[in-house]
Amino acid sequence: MIARLQAVAVLVAMLLSGCTLTFPQVNAAMQLIPLPSDGQKEQGAPMWLASVGGVGAVLTPYAMDGYTLFANEDGDAIAFDGWTVRAIYGFNLTKPIKVSGKTGSRSISSSRGRTKTMCSEWINQPTEFSQRWRQTCSVGPGEIVVNSDGNIEEIGMSLGRELGSVALRVRH
């Protein structure tokens, strides 16, 4: 299990190399679940339910080089930078999906080629019990839900008509 997870982490790191990332979110509103460094799973860390293009998996979060890597023993993995899903591996994909760009122009690369999309700035639409950050892109919407404790509970992002969407949520 550890060797397979390390292999997935290395692959995701290779996919993400060359990306320059910033974390402009407000600290109080956007905190990732507390994770230890060095790719170690936190004792009692919550499991996450994930779906990519309709294929589901249960994933565990790990901290990795400024990202949260959600991964399982089966080789399914999603790299998240705090605002955007950056890479997806497994989930019955023939080739990993890589996402570059943030606000403005974004590119989604997959086995089906490269899709360009335009994305707006993230807008906070608070509710009584959470903060809902939403982004509109030409391929579809994105959303991040932060609970009243400041922890991300849900992540959703459209990948385009052919690829569908990616969704993650904490399993309660």
Residues 25-67: tens digit of each pLDDT: 333 233 333 334 444 444 567 899 999 999 999 999 999 888 9
What does the pLDDT read at residue 103? 81
- pLDDT bin (cut points 50, 70, 90) of residue 114 is very high
Provide the residue ranges of all domains of the chain, joining segments of one domain with +. Answer: 2-170
pTM of the shown model: 0.77
Of 94, 100, 74, 88, nearest to 17 (Cα)? 100
10 Å Cβ neighbour count for 68? 21
Of 90, 83, 5, nearest to 51 (Cα)? 90
The amino acid present at 42, given as its one-letter code, is: E
β-strand partners of 17: none
